[in-house]
Amino acid sequence: MESLHSFFKTGGEMEGESDREREMEGEGIEHRTVEVNGIKMHIAEKGDGPVVLFIHGFPELWYSWRHQILSLAAHGYRAVAPDLRGYGDTDAPLDVAAYTIMQLVGDLVGLIHSLGQEQVFVVGQDWGALVAWHLCLFRPDLVKAVVNLSIPFISPNPTHNLIDYWREIYGDDFYVCRFQEPGEAESLFAQVDTSMVIKLFLICLKPGPLIIPKDKGLQGAFDEKEITLPSWLCEEDINYFTSKFNLTGFTGGFNYYRNLNKNTELTAPWMGAQVKVPAKYIVGDLDLVYHFAGMKDYIHGGGLDGMVPSLEMVVLEGVGHFSHQEKPEEISDHIYEFIKRF
């Protein structure tokens, strides 16, 4: 499989472990590679029992779920967290078209089968939530229950050009629009040290749309002159993310956004379909997604309930987009209390 990683890694680097990975192994988290859907996927796992699959978002890795892995394993579950395609130590195909929602869900289906499971619990955040919702839509037979953070389920609508919609509301500098042109977003991110990119995204508590003006650059978009890490994030965490993205770059993650309109075409057969898997949705009231145009009305006005009939919802006060890292114990408890019913 030809991948972006071949341009950034030697064979030894692909097989090697970081110091942080070795430390996590000391806590019982193990790492291995599985072949799924035509790619090699890196997974981290710990525990025995029913499988809980943790799906990360942008710009993250399996490591984002480090707290939940330990917590759910302690509760008697087998916690499994992959690096999604294009991220970390998983293959990153070169073709933008290799990152459609069909491929992403196909990876999870292959992973579930490789784990020898007929059904699993699924937990997603950001893009991981979007992929998890579609797994429930396409293959509800594989999912016992789902807990998703930040991104609500929105039924496919092939008549809705999502990029044009956001461009009309927020303009060309809306971050999703800035990510569309191959090379442009890569150049934008390259102007800032990788560790700064990770810090800017993870600690952002700026409710509302992320606008990246062409005359300001990435750091100016966040209005951050100096970065002070919050108590829930340490330099060791930043260093782990940075070490992986320094090797891979961010193109794999950008390619998810570059398939948003294509995904509306591919999912046309599911237009208006409901997610009928038991579901819990958690969002922070400072999450930028929560403040997208029309999102609160959809979430609280019956739209989301209509699309996910078996839904429970939690809004966390004073919490941003990366709630699983910001409030790890609280999120772990929400996950456990929900899935243990099933």
pLDDT digits (tens, 9 = 90+) for 251-286: 999 999 999 999 999 999 999 999 999 999 999 999
The backbone torsions φ and ψ at residue 137, rounded to the nearest 5 degrees and listed phi first, read -75, -45
Residue 16 in this model has a pLDDT that exceeds 70: no
Q: Provide the pairing of β-strand 39-46 with 78-82.
A: antiparallel
CA-to-CA distance for 28 and 17, rounded, in angstroms? 15
CATH of the domain at 78: 3.40.50.1820
For residue 5, what pLDDT is reported?
Answer: 45
Residue 6 in this model has a pLDDT that exceeds 50: no
Please give the single-letter amino acid code of residue 220.
G
Q: CA distances (Å), 10 to each of 4, 7, 130, 245, in order?
A: 12, 8, 32, 15
- Angle among Cα 145, 149, 205 to the nearest 5 degrees reads 170
For residue 59, what pLDDT is reported?
Answer: 97
**Region 109-115 average pLDDT:** 98
For residue 222, what pLDDT is reported?
Answer: 80
CA-to-CA distance for 282 and 134, rounded, in angstroms? 17
Nearest Cα residue to 202 out of 56, 53, 315 = 56
CA dihedral 208, 146, 113, 8 (to 10 degrees): 20
CA-to-CA distance for 188 and 219, rounded, in angstroms? 10
CA-to-CA distance for 288 and 309, rounded, in angstroms? 25
How many domains does one find in the chain?
1
Question: Catalytic amino acids?
Answer: 126, 257, 321
The owner of tokens 């294009």 is 86
Cα torsion 255, 46, 197, 293: sign: positive
Output the pTM of the full model.
Answer: 0.92
Residue 320 in this model has a pLDDT that exceeds 90: yes
Nearest Cα residue to 256 out of 124, 68, 143, 110 = 124
Host domain of residue 246: 4-339
CA-to-CA distance for 126 and 132, rounded, in angstroms? 10
Q: Which two tokens stand for residue 38?
A: 């035509």
For residue 301, the 8-state DSSP code is: T
- Angle among Cα 111, 114, 117 to the nearest 5 degrees reads 90
Give 193-250 pLDDT, tens digit per residue. 999 999 999 998 878 889 999 888 887 778 665 678 999 999 999 999 999 999 999 9
What mean pLDDT is reported for the chain?
92
CA-to-CA distance for 8 and 86, rounded, in angstroms? 12
Tell me how crowded residue 54 is: count the other CB atoms within 10 A of its CB: 28
Residue 70 in this model has a pLDDT that exceeds 70: yes
Q: Which of 23-32, 66-75, 106-115 shows the lowest mean pLDDT across its residues?
A: 23-32
Confidence grade of residue 8 (pLDDT, cut at 50, 70, 90): very low
